[in-house]
Amino acid sequence: MKAALLAGALSLAACGEGDPPQAGPANAAQIERLARPRATKQDPQASARLQPVTPEDLRREGLLGAGCNFSSEGRMLLAAVGSDAVARVEGELRHLVHSASVGPTGGFFEERRLSVSVGRTDDRGRAFGAATSWPARITATNRRTGAQQELPGLWTCGV
């Protein structure tokens, strides 16, 4: 019986019931700050902001030859060749399908997250060899969030 009482007393002492908490290298304020994720400033329009498409992107994706493209401030933002089109959003090159015919007046393109429309804003085009460019406007819309970007530029076909 004495042995059982002694074993019980030793087990209670081993639990550290009376020991003060161990102090670590972080204090309570630091732990609280680390437990909360840092608020990051996110651009609500980023999911609809078109980024440049390069000639290398077109070569890699097999989109060479005559087609149409939209450019703004000297940067190509959308290219359509045959039944395919590409645009870059949030660093990702996305393939879009034509949801209407594409030609000199513009076009409509979409994929599950993004829809893009291009339309001429003036009928007076300028010929450059086999291609013709018209003033146009592009609108990119994130279909899930409703974020949208509109830009003026040039719609060029026959390139």
Q: What's the pTM?
A: 0.72
CA dihedral sign, ordered 37, 42, 46, 51: negative
Dump pLDDT digits (tens) for 136-158: 999 999 999 999 999 999 999 98
Per the model's pLDDT, the better-predicted residue between 127 and 26 turns out to be 127
Domain that holds residue 137: 46-157
Number of domains in the chain: 1
Residue 5 within any structural domain of the chain: no
DSSP 8-state code for residue 22: P
Looking at residue 29, its amino acid is: A
- Asked, for residue 82, whether it belongs to a domain, the answer is yes
Residue 40 domain flag = no
Residue 87 identity (one-letter amino acid): A
Question: Is 8 part of a structural domain of the chain?
Answer: no
